[in-house]
Amino acid sequence: GQNIDQPTEMTATEGAIVQINCTYQTSGFNGLFWYQQHAGEAPTFLSYNVLDGLEEKGRFSSFLSRSKGYSYLLLKELQMKDSASYLCAVREGTGRRALTFGSGTRLQVQP
């Protein structure tokens, strides 16, 4: 099975940078995803890491270290609309497509 840990809540200021960490334990890692979910809405895809290193996509970047079982999502130039839950999800095992999600980090961006 898998164990995925991420902070429950974070607060940051508009225009600032915030890093949301995710640690995981899995017997056969096969990719890590970050999703954004606004209250009452569906999760939307942000990033995908399968190899070590940093993936950058506009204001959002995601980092993966497979040896440490660690990832982070970096959000730059925070905007009020970035207030949402951020879900870390891991795929385990070759051939499997199911994602195991963490409980999510609720980010509140303040003016």
Partner 1 sequence: GAGVSQTPSNKVTEKGKYVELRCDPISGHTALYWYRQSLGQGPEFLIYFQGTGAADDSGLPNDRFFAVRPEGSVSTLKIQRTERGDSAVYLCASSFSGAQYEQFFGPGTRLTVL
Applying CB under 8 A, which residues contact partner 1?
4, 30-31, 33, 35, 41-45, 48, 50, 87, 89, 91, 96-104
Cβ-Cβ contacts under 8 Å for 17 (sequence gap 6 or more): 74, 75, 76, 77, 78
Q: Which of 67, 85, 66 is nearest to 75 (CA)?
A: 85
**Residue with Cβ nearer partner 1 (16 or 54):** 54
Question: From CA 39, how far away is CA 20, in angstroms rounded?
Answer: 18
Q: How far is the CB of 14 from partner 1 (least distance, A)?
A: 25
- Quote the least distance from Cβ 38 to partner 1, whole Å: 11
Query: Which one, 33 or 63, has the nearer CB to partner 1?
Result: 33
Of the two residues 11 and 13, which places its CB atom closer to partner 1 in the complex? 11
How many CA atoms are closer than 13 Å to the CA of 39, on its beta-carbon side? 5
Which residue lies nearer to partner 1 by CB, 3 or 13? 3
- Among 21, 37, 109, 53, which residue's Cα sits nearest to residue 45? 37
Q: How far is the CB of 74 from partner 1 (least distance, A)?
A: 19
CB of residue 17 to partner 1, shortest distance in Å:
24
